[in-house]
Amino acid sequence: MLKKSFLLCLFVFILSIGCNKNETLYKVVGVKDGDTLVLLSPDNQSITVRLSEIDCPEKSQAFGQAAKQFTSDLCFGKRVKLTGNQHDRYGRTVGQVELENGVNVNYEIVKQGYAWQYRAYSKNMELASLEQHARESHLGLWQDANPTPPWNFRKEAKTQRVEKKVKKAKRPYKKRRSRKQRDTVAFEI
């Protein structure tokens, strides 16, 4: 009897903790690009969040502005739940963002065709399925016959920057003549 009472009390305790879960809600106060948000915590701390497992086109890339606009329309000014506390090399929090109505922002962006599943960081079969459906339906960036994944776009841009630096470094350097040298040359003529 004592064991049953204990188990019943334990069950009620666990249930009450689960029901009274006071999740922290953040307000979306900025959208930097399709997969990067700025959230404001209840104590007015600004947090930059990189949406995990997805990669949107860069702003300067085809559909980059459209991805940013879609993300903004979806969640700007709304209260959201943040899941995840890892940080990337830029100091951004990496995580999943969910609207109060339960819509997962990360998944919705892929579902509507404004992001790739970032396979280097995700093996999520649901995201893969959402991306495949968006491809087949020609949604968002999948309207393009051969869209360039953002990781390839960034790599190409970096290669071009390096090549430009190398080319600039190889230019012959002309030494300017001093005033005395210029005057001497002018006098000799």
Tell me the catalytic residues: 50, 58, 92
Collapsed DSSP state (helix, strand, coil) of residue 64: helix
For the chain, how far is it from start to end, CA to CA, in angstroms? 118
Residue 84 region by backbone torsions, left for phi larger than 0, else alpha for psi between -120 and 50, else beta? left
Closest by CA position to 84, among listed 32, 37, 43: 37
Instruction: State the Cα–Cα distance between residues 44 and 93, nearest whole angstrom.
Output: 16
Per-state percent for the chain, helix, strand, coil, to nearest 5: 45, 20, 35
Q: Look up residue 85 and give its two tokens.
A: 């506390």
Phi, psi at 154, each rounded to 5° = -65, -40
Phi, psi at 145, each rounded to 5° = -65, -35
